[in-house]
């Protein structure tokens, strides 16, 4: 019975004619109501209301120069569109679901109600929703990429500031999650500073490709009224034109590339979060998250969970999926505009929000994080200076391949006698190799170890300060 009732409702809804659609002249019957819901996009593309109105005003202004609109008609269109914008801003815009498929039709329908359909009906001359939506998306994305860049700059500033302030803290560096060599805590932060600086450079490059104007491309073949595309692009703040009208309406590479950028950034963010999750455990206790970015357990009162970091790690999968999903939607469609491209809008909106929220959370986490230098120091062990011991003999002219083997024998000896390497006597060391002298004990100094690595990119104070300056240079627009 339920299936029959649904089918009857459909049949009734489809039986009356509907000429209220912008494209309704060709059609004699109404659309299946399920299809109407399946097709509409106003529920999510309404966020483009401002960009859509800006693009329409620029388009109308350009059409005054082609003779399509008189100055009076343009003034009315501009006045009406500004009123429509205020209605959106004041949350008084009344949506008519039966006719408002998307933000473009909603704005134009309301414009006709405000200034009359005769003048409003001229706005769309030579324009298509194909170039309209591409313009709206680029304008919206350009604005939000500016915000994302600002969030990333804020995060990098915190990294650079903490690296400079906490440069004295020394901790184990890891490979394979095994303790390897002593490093400065600042050096660890600046590893991610390097990754995120590359992300900053990439977003600036992406923005330049997003900021190209497709308005005037029409449905696919271009505008027949000799409209000034360059004037429209300039008014809208675009850096240039898309020089092929078919590409103008077909291109969603700018969305895919944004998602590729966001996925790269979130990959780095996830690794950063994973390290801090590990370092915040009781087994490490190198760092402690602020209460503002932690939660407790519903059962165990002693727990302090790093939920902020776990969410950052988890949301990376979300943005990867959005990128891959859109690429799968786009890869098989034929040339120019196809409705599949509507599937680029929702993931773009959520992707940008997720990345923006993540950057702000990461900045908050790092700004309020407490470090425990005493626990970092306790985690250092003399065997982590085995390479320094090998380097000691290298400075005496012994080939490194030989010194590596000798240092390994010292490690084995320390394990055999059950003593840390720095507690072995000079006689025990010379029992391994006679070239060890009394000053060999100076090797077992963690501060000296990190200071010895002073080549560019290393973990000495001077090298770390160079890295901090490199981040600061990138923030100011340099490379």
DSSP letter assigned to residue 117:
H
From residue 61, alpha-carbon distances to 76, 78, 233, 235, 345 in Å are 11, 9, 12, 10, 27
In this structure, how many other beta carbons lie within 10 angstroms of the beta carbon of residue 14? 15
Between CA 379 and CA 178 the distance in angstroms is: 12
Q: Which two tokens stand for residue 360?
A: 């702000």
In this structure, how many other beta carbons lie within 10 angstroms of the beta carbon of residue 232? 22
* Catalytic option among 5, 16, 176, 298: 176
187 flagged as catalytic: no
Q: Which two tokens stand for residue 245?
A: 């009208």
Q: Is 380 exposed, middle or buried (0-12, 13-18, 19+ CB in 10 A)?
A: middle
Between CA 147 and CA 107 the distance in angstroms is: 26
Q: Which two tokens stand for residue 296?
A: 């407790």
Question: Burial letters for 146-169: b for 16+ Cβ neighbours within 10 Å, e otherwise?
Answer: eebbebbbebbebbbebbbeebeb
297 flagged as catalytic: yes
* Catalytic option among 297, 335, 425, 462: 297
CA-based nearest residue to 113, from 95, 129, 133: 95
Q: Which two tokens stand for residue 212?
A: 């190209």
Residues marked as catalytic: 176, 297
């Amino acid at each position: 019975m339920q299936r029959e009732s649904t089918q009857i409702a459909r049949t009734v809804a489809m039986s009356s004619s509907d000429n209220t659609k912008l494209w309704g002249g060709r059609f004699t019957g109404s659309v299946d109501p399920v299809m109407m819901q399946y097709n509409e996009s106003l529920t999510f593309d309404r966020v483009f209301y401002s960009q859509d109105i800006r693009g329409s005003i620029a388009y109308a202004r350009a059409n005054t120069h082609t003779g399509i609109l008189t100055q009076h008609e343009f003034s009315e269109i501009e006045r009406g569109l500004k009123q429509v914008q205020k209605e959106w801003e004041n949350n008084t815009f009344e949506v008519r679901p039966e006719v408002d498929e998307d933000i473009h039709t909603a704005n134009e329908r309301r414009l006709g109600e405000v200034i009359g359909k005769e003048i409003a009906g001229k706005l769309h001359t030579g324009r298509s929703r194909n170039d309209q939506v591409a313009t709206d998306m680029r304008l919206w994305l350009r604005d939000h990429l500016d915000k994302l860049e600002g969030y990333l700059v804020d995060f990098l500033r915190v990294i650079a500031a903490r690296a400079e302030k906490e440069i004295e803290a020394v901790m184990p560096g890891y490979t394979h999650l095994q303790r390897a060599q002593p490093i400065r805590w600042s050096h660890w932060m600046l590893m991610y500073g390097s990754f995120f600086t590359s992300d900053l450079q990439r977003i600036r490059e992406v923005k330049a490709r997003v900021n190209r104007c497709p308005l005037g491309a029409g449905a696919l073949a271009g505008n027949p009224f000799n409209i000034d595309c360059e004037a429209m692009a300039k008014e809208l703040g675009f850096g240039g034109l898309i020089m092929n009208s078919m590409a103008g309406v077909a291109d969603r590479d700018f969305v895919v590339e944004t998602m590729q950028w966001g996925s790269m950034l979130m990959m780095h963010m996830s690794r950063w979060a994973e390290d801090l999750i590990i370092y915040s455990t009781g087994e490490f206790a190198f760092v402690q998250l602020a209460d503002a970015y932690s939660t407790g357990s519903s059962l165990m009162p002693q727990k302090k969970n790093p939920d902020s970091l776990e969410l950052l790690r988890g949301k990376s999968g979300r943005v990867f999926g959005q990128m891959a999903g859109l690429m799968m939607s786009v890869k098989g469609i034929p040339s120019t505009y196809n409705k599949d491209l509507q599937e680029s809008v929702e993931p773009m909106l959520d992707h940008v929000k997720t990345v923006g929220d993540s950057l702000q959370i990461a900045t908050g986490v790092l700004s309020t994080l407490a470090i425990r230098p005493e626990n970092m120091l306790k985690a250092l062990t003399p065997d982590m200076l085995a390479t320094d011991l090998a380097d000691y003999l290298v400075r005496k002219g012994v080939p490194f391949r030989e010194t590596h083997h000798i240092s390994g024998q010292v490690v084995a000896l320390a394990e055999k006698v059950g003593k840390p390497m720095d507690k072995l006597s000079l006689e025990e060391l010379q029992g391994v190799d006679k070239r060890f002298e009394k000053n060999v004990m100076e090797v077992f100094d963690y501060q000296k170890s990190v200071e010895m690595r002073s080549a560019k990119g290393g973990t000495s104070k001077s090298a770390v300060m160079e890295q901090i300056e490199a981040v600061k240079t990138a923030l100011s627009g340099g490379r």
